[in-house]
Amino acid sequence: MKISLLGFLFLSFSFFAKAHQQDSVVIKRLFDLSLTNGESYENLRVLCKTIGHRLSGSPQAAKAVVWGKKVMENAGFDKVYLQEVMVPHWVRGTKEAAALTLMNNPKTKDGMPVTQKMKISVLGGSVGTNGITTGEVIEVKDLAELDQLGEANIKGKIVFYNRPFDPTYIQTFKAYGHCVDQRVDGASKAAKYGAKGVIIRSMAHGHGDHPHTGSVRYTDSLPKIPAAAISTVSADLIADELAKGRKVFFSMEFDCQLLPDVLSYNVIGEMKGSVYPDQVISVGGHLDSWDIGEGAHDDGAGCVQSMEALRMLKVLGVKPRHTLRAVLFMNEENGLRGGKKYAELASASGEKHVAALESDRGGFVPRGFSIEGSAAQVKWLESLSPLLKSYDLHYFEEGGTGADISPLKKYFPDIVLFGFVPDSQRYFDHHHAETDVFENVNKRELELGAASMAALVYLIDYHLLK
Amino acid sequence: MKISLLGFLFLSFSFFAKAHQQDSVVIKRLFDLSLTNGESYENLRVLCKTIGHRLSGSPQAAKAVVWGKKVMENAGFDKVYLQEVMVPHWVRGTKEAAALTLMNNPKTKDGMPVTQKMKISVLGGSVGTNGITTGEVIEVKDLAELDQLGEANIKGKIVFYNRPFDPTYIQTFKAYGHCVDQRVDGASKAAKYGAKGVIIRSMAHGHGDHPHTGSVRYTDSLPKIPAAAISTVSADLIADELAKGRKVFFSMEFDCQLLPDVLSYNVIGEMKGSVYPDQVISVGGHLDSWDIGEGAHDDGAGCVQSMEALRMLKVLGVKPRHTLRAVLFMNEENGLRGGKKYAELASASGEKHVAALESDRGGFVPRGFSIEGSAAQVKWLESLSPLLKSYDLHYFEEGGTGADISPLKKYFPDIVLFGFVPDSQRYFDHHHAETDVFENVNKRELELGAASMAALVYLIDYHLLK
């Protein structure tokens, strides 16, 4: 049969239009389901309120594994299983106290020193103080400044890293990216010049009165010195005092420690592919959290959204073409052991891992998705814009996707990775802090995220150019 | 001089590219200024925390007028003035109590009735109960249902309007639009069939435990009966009871009243146009609020953003081509008298009002702008997308803009109206409720809104196709 070019174009268009129409219907149903009978919010409530925070190796992390497995079993996935992974086991301990001493304070009688308690949050992985660590405070704005100051100015002191977030970055993750070296590498850099300890301005915008924790990374060849975060309000207080030319002393005491590694698990649920059962598309978040707050946005949200994405596709009777997998990764916060193990085992299994989506930027209102893939795949993602516009999804850009799925690239060079991108404005108000609790997650925002992720998984499964 | 078509195109392109580049610089500076040294958040704090809610005619509304004038005088605008407007003066009174009586409740001994207090918020404009109003509750889901039930079923009862928000609307204002007839027209519709009073499910998503107020509109020819909102949680409780076939009685008592009109003001600040001094572009929000909460999102946010937009253009030395005007409208909530007066006086002054922008959808993270204008003007707004994309502004659509600027259309048929469109997901959590307080406004979200509005005012002033 011969058809004219015009006829061919017409047929192609019809096919495209029909596929597009069908996609629209599926996507609308996913959003309707999430917003009317979604389970993501209730699941998050249970995780946050009955288990709470869950640092790798903790009893709560073990409970969270059982919880995640049960949620997926209840959803009726084809297969739910655990993946063994040894994780670090750092414990904050029972003491966590600090005090600030202001010298020559004109507010006091005769300029006598005045001491006040200060709230700290020990950085994850820090050594304890082994008694009380006290020292004069020296403020720096970046790591390079220590090289200029040298041992003469630093030895025996407590280095205070105080470079604030740059508020002019519209995407708050950029502000974080430009500051976080202070928290991660600041301790060893200061230890190199003989500092006794470090305190870090919290990785947050503006003026909050609670400290934000996070991991510190020691250089093995250097002494390990204690490291803690202080709130942005406390940081401004110290900086003001120093700016007036007055001396400031800081004392801190904490007994955190690193215990032997513990056996833990990634939690995985699967729906078998009807066309490509050996080709896998995963959607995931991380199950562990820091040991303050409830890990609601970071990353309880990503966990419940990932499970919900698969559950909703199942409820709607969408037949997966590839094998779809929801993955709750263990130990993103202080080791990435779960992400690494998952990639290693995926490779060893002989399966082809074609795509992965990660949600680890909080349960805020969706903006869109980032992608790491070929030029054609980037174009494909961009082409979804008209289909998803009415759900306020508009961000479809090449860029970083997620920490837990990044190890897959090593084993599957052709894999395409996606990151769920919610609005970032409020993320660092709560990140790694006591305010990262269920109450600060908005139900509709969380549900819209779950639906957006389900829609993308469906579109990848049915339409992605491989 | 003759130039080739190619040369002409090249010159046009160069001009365009240069203009575009310059715009980019101005817009970046506006965002930087708002996010580093913005005053919108501090202004909102003062409005909310030192004045609080400010219903038309109240002493707080009078204080807010003084406050707004002072903020604009401090900003150094060319001219700051008040515009007289008579406004309604409804007062909630001192009593606002209600109780629910559940009959045949199996939980009680012998099925005895059980009475419990219930939180209500009298609807603005409602008559008082003149003693206690008690009646059996009859539930309806829409106004048409009353025609079917008729006097036989309604007379002497309290009509309970219980149609909930449809959660599947992505834009929450649509859900509101499909429910609000119950609150606005429900009382007179029920009075027509002899009801004693009405209670309304709050105009809100989900399960909140606080009532949301708002205005009721009486039909003059019908008896005016008392009307109050109950929380969505209370509404579900009553509906559950009725669904079990049990009788429910409701009692309420309140002494609100409508006092004589009061003299109040729109507050206006102006920057004189350098090219078209007689042509006006306005940006505004409304200064009055309901008399619970602090009117932080509704519409303290719009007020501080509007003043901030002009202030920032002044600080950056951007020379206005048209006359720019920040307008704080009085009485949007229960009369729109300020909006009507402003339009009337603008017309009488002989000026040409070319464009108006309104912010009255809360101080949430910006999405973009709506427009009411010619097809070419809609295209013009859409054409801003590339310029504003990096600020996460993506919504540029024809549609409703704002209540206070709508009267301008009557006098200036060629005017183009714009509405600031922030994300709508959390708006109805706080709308007209005790939780609409300063603490529920995020600093960055508010500042991004102010910058977005300033950017649009600048682009209208410099580039809008009239």
Chain A CB contacts of B392 under 8 Å are 170, 367, 395, 423
pLDDT (0 to 100) of residue A336: 98
Q: Is B395 on the interface with A (CB under 8 A)?
A: yes
pLDDT digits 0-9 by tens, A244-269: 999 999 999 999 999 999 999 999 99
**Residues of B identified as active-site:** 332
pLDDT digits 0-9 by tens, A327-382: 999 999 999 999 999 999 999 999 999 999 999 999 999 999 999 999 999 999 99
pLDDT (0 to 100) of residue A1: 45
pLDDT digits 0-9 by tens, B328-377: 999 999 999 999 999 999 999 999 999 999 999 999 999 999 999 999 99
Q: Is A365 on the interface with B (CB under 8 A)?
A: yes
Q: Is B130 on the interface with A (CB under 8 A)?
A: no
Q: Is A392 on the interface with B (CB under 8 A)?
A: yes
pLDDT (0 to 100) of residue A415: 98
The interface residues of chain B toward chain A in range 433-462, judged by CB-CB distance below 8 A, are 442-445, 448
> How many angstroms away from the CA of A7 is the closest CA of chain B?
33
Residue of A nearest to B394 (CA): A394
Give mean pLDDT, residues B89-111.
86
pLDDT at A6 over 80: no
Chain B CB contacts of A367 under 8 Å are 392
pLDDT band at B206 (very low <50, low <70, confident <90, very high): confident
Q: For testing the chain B interface, which of A394, A439, A448 should be mutated: the one with the most B CBs within 10 Å?
A: A394
Give mean pLDDT, residues A406-432.
98
> How many angstroms away from the CA of B42 is the closest CA of chain A?
13
Q: What angle do CA B75, B77, B81 make, to 5 degrees?
A: 110
Q: Do B167 and A423 touch (CB under 8 A)?
A: no
pLDDT at B5 over 90: no
pLDDT (0 to 100) of residue A113: 87
pLDDT digits 0-9 by tens, B234-283: 999 999 999 999 999 999 999 999 999 999 999 999 999 999 999 999 99
Quote the mean pLDDT of chain B.
95
> How many angstroms away from the CA of B238 is the closest CA of chain A?
21
> How many angstroms away from the CA of A168 is the closest CA of chain B?
5
pLDDT (0 to 100) of residue A465: 67
Q: Is A395 on the interface with B (CB under 8 A)?
A: yes
Give mean pLDDT, residues A295-306.
98
Q: Do A394 and B394 touch (CB under 8 A)?
A: yes
Per-residue H/E/C for chain A: CCCCHHHHHHHHHHHHHHHHHHHHHHHHHHHHHHHHHCCHHHHHHHHHHHHCCCCCCCHHHHHHHHHHHHHHHHCCCCEEEEEEEEEEEEECCCCEEEEEEECCCCCCHHHCCEEEECCEEECECCCCCCCCEEEEEEEECCCHHHHHHHHHHHCCCEEEECCCCCCCCCCHHHHHHCCCHHHHHHHHHHHHCCCCEEEEECCCCCCCCCCCCCECCCCCCCCCCCEEEECHHHHHHHHHHHHCCCCEEEEEEECCEEEEEEEEEEEEEEECCCCEEEEEEEEEEECCCCCCCCCHHHHHHHHHHHHHHHHHHHHCCCCCCEEEEEEEECCCCCCCHHHHHHHHHHHHCCCEEEEEEECCCCCCCEEEEEEECCHHHHHHHHHCHHHHHHHCCCEEEECCCCCCCCCHHHHCCCCEEEEEEECCCCHHHHCCCCCCCHHHCCHHHHHHHHHHHHHHHHHHHHHCCC
Q: Do A170 and B32 touch (CB under 8 A)?
A: no
pLDDT digits 0-9 by tens, A228-242: 999 999 999 999 999
pLDDT (0 to 100) of residue A163: 98
pLDDT at B1 over 50: no
pLDDT at B212 over 90: yes
pLDDT (0 to 100) of residue B444: 98
Residue of B nearest to A207 (CA): B443
pLDDT digits 0-9 by tens, B378-421: 999 999 999 999 999 999 999 999 999 999 999 999 999 999 99
pLDDT band at A18 (very low <50, low <70, confident <90, very high): low
pLDDT at B33 over 50: yes
Q: Do B365 and A425 touch (CB under 8 A)?
A: yes
Q: For testing the chain A interface, which of B423, B428, B431 should be mutated: the one with the most A CBs within 10 Å?
A: B423
> How many angstroms away from the CA of A390 is the closest CA of chain B?
8
Chain B CB contacts of A167 under 8 Å are 35-36, 444
Catalytic residue among A139, A253, A294, A332: A332
Gap between the Cα atoms of A243 and B246, Å rounded: 71
Q: Do B425 and A390 touch (CB under 8 A)?
A: no
Q: For testing the chain B interface, which of A24, A426, A444 should be mutated: the one with the most B CBs within 10 Å?
A: A444
- Is 0.90 topped by the overall pTM? yes
Chain B CB contacts of A172 under 8 Å are 444
> How many angstroms away from the CA of B444 is the closest CA of chain A?
7
Gap between the Cα atoms of A201 and A166, Å rounded: 13
Number of Cβ pairs closer than 8 Å across A and B? 65
Give mean pLDDT, residues A416-422.
98
Q: Do A426 and B443 touch (CB under 8 A)?
A: no
Q: What angle do CA A429, B174, B199 make, to 5 degrees?
A: 95
pLDDT (0 to 100) of residue A207: 79
